[in-house]
Structure 1
Amino acid sequence: MEARYYAAPVIRPTPAAPARRRGFVQPSILPGFGLSFGFVLIYLGLIVIIPLAALALRPWEIGLDGVIRTLTDPRVAAALRLSFSLSLFAALVNAPLGLLIAWTLTRYEFPGRRLLDALVDLPFALPTAVAGIALTTLYAPTGLLGALAEKVGIKTAYSPLGIFIALVFIGLPFVVRSIQPVLQDFDREVEEAARTLGASDLQRIVRVVLPGLLPALISGVTLAFARAVGEYGSVIFIAGNMPLKTEIAPLLIVIKLEQYDYAGAAAIGLAMVLISFGALILINAAQIFLAGRGRR
């Protein structure tokens, strides 16, 4: 008898229907969206939105003229200018310093590397007042480094330079810790491909490595700037706190609170929030633009 063979029917799976979006909620296999979303709203409301709303409303107790008079006061204007200019300058200086430290800790093996890596986080661990006392002791005219600077005519402590040193000290870990994980995960094969194509060491760093690190570098600089603007404890000891010269804006807020001028203190705080928010928007826009160019 002749054997006959029949081809088995091919069963094609029916494509699953796309999950429908319910309102503004994206479908997910994880439960608990309502509870999680409610917790987020409560947290943001109690910790962020309500305090900022209170800060925005309190200055208007003295009226628009009072707010303008407070912010245009020469002492207040000088303090705001000093705080933001030195914070920006310190954050920009921390960019190459943090990049160099992160590169050294990531790309090289040497004795004491782990210890040096741990010391980077020291400004995080130290109370700000302790850091301020330590920096003042070191950079005062009678201190080890301050005495050396005095011999060449440079005044460190009790001057804007002392404030700048303190802001660099507290902002450096933000830049290092933002760059370090990105640098550790960076694809070495891309660098090797550039080497085989004849690129020099400088060309590989500028055209291959830096474009991939720019978003993380900008993020670290942003964090360092934000921390420096509101820094108080590590600055007041080394600043000297001379009005119109070395008085920072956070100290001026404390002084107005001690004088029971709550509306004036809130006006200065609101000005700092608005200036910081505007600067962060510009920095984040630059970060998004660079990240978009890097994906092309």
Structure 2
Amino acid sequence: MTARRARRPRVGGVLPGFGLSTGLTVLYLGLVVLVPLSTLALRQSALSWRELWPVIASPRALASYRLSFGASLAAAGVNVVGGVLVAWVLARYAFPGRSLVDALVDLPFALPTAVSGIALTAVYSRNGWLGRWLEPLGLKAAFSPLGVAIALTFIGLPFVIRTVQPVLEDLDPELEEAAATLGAGRWQTFRRVILPAVAPAAVTGFALAFARGLGEYGSVVFISGNMPLRTEIAPLLIMTRLEAYDYAGAAAIANVLLVTSFLLLLLIHRLQAWTRSRVGLA
């Protein structure tokens, strides 16, 4: 009985009582998150429904939604595959320059987004290091939707790697060895041992990369070309309306992004919870 009591966690931990901690949490989230977001609704309320619908459903706005959400989803999907692979190499192999590669992973975090955009445009433009080889193949990277996806992939990759890497480092290699001893091939080991363990973290990394890409502006504005109905992202359209002093219209488009991204992230989190429950049952 004494040992069981010793292992039982203390309610509230080192913080003050539940009521005080909860109150401070709600106050902090309210000041930092809820109050700024509520101003979007207040700004949008200046528009009537007749004025609101042409703003949020105009052809230019719909094209920017499709590009922003489509490129963010595509980039997050690519990052899940590439991020899991990079995290696996960093967690499982020791090689010369590993610490340098590990540091380079965090470079998109520290690099100003405008610098990222200029660098990507220089590399993928028609006369760039990579663009000159892609153009003859019919792949126009800079000033195209592909360039937007490339920029979002660049800035979103660290989220997946840093989410999956700790899980792989904590995963006991003896589990893989045991699977191999029992006759499992590499694909079976990956599918039945590794994938269930990293799936929740990979889904979390996907959600973080998607959310980061959806609101990205600096690294995309240079490489996209900013052509309305073709390569104009939704954050750029918001900035365009702000520069025209159309604050209500900018808030309306921002609210569309906010509500849609919240619903998508809620769906992703539900998927993450379902994945964790499936792993627990397994």
Is 1:196–2:181 an aligned residue pair?
Answer: yes
Is 1:32–2:16 an aligned residue pair?
Answer: yes
Corresponding residue number in structure 2 for 1:86 = 71
Compute the displacement of 1:52 (Å). 1.4
Cα RMSD of the aligned pairs, angstroms, is: 1.9
Corresponding residue number in structure 2 for 1:232 = 217
Corresponding residue number in structure 2 for 1:19 = none
1:294 to 275, 279, 282: 279
Corresponding residue number in structure 1 for 2:113 = 128
Mapped to 2, the partners of 1:28 and 1:89 lie a distance apart of 41
Compute the displacement of 1:29 (Å). 5.8
Letter in 2 for 1:94: N
Is 1:170–2:155 an aligned residue pair?
Answer: yes
* TM-score normalised by the chain length of structure 1: 0.89
Compute the displacement of 1:194 (Å). 1.3
> Which 10-residue stretch deviates more, 127-136 or 52-61?
52-61
Mapped to 2, the partners of 1:283 and 1:58 lie a distance apart of 29
Compute the displacement of 1:35 (Å). 4.5
Is 1:205–2:209 an aligned residue pair?
Answer: no
Compute the displacement of 1:293 (Å). 1.1
Corresponding residue number in structure 2 for 1:56 = 41
Compute the displacement of 1:188 (Å). 2.1
Mapped to 2, the partners of 1:29 and 1:47 lie a distance apart of 24
Is 1:244–2:229 an aligned residue pair?
Answer: yes
2:31 to 20, 41, 46: 46
Compute the displacement of 1:208 (Å). 0.8
Mapped to 2, the partners of 1:39 and 1:246 lie a distance apart of 43
Mapped to 2, the partners of 1:190 and 1:126 lie a distance apart of 38
Letter in 2 for 1:275: T
What is the DSSP-based 3-state SS (H/G/I as helix, E as strand, rest coil) of the residue aligned with 1:295? helix
Mapped to 2, the partners of 1:261 and 1:251 lie a distance apart of 14
Compute the displacement of 1:254 (Å). 0.4
Corresponding residue number in structure 2 for 1:161 = 146
Is 1:185–2:201 an aligned residue pair?
Answer: no
Q: Over residues 60-106 of structure 1, what are the superposed CA-to-partner deviations in whole Å (9 max), with x where a residue is unaligned?
A: 21112222111110001100111001100110011110011001111
Larger radius of gyration: 1
Structure 2 unaligned spans of 5+ = none
Mapped to 2, the partners of 1:126 and 1:119 lie a distance apart of 11
* TM-score normalised by the chain length of structure 2: 0.93
Pick closer, same or farther for the CA change 1:97–1:38 going to 2, 3 Å. same
Q: Over residues 206-253 of structure 1, what are the superposed CA-to-partner deviations in whole Å (9 max), with x where a residue is unaligned?
A: 111001100000000100000000000000000000000000000000
Could you tell me the percent identity over the aligned residues?
54
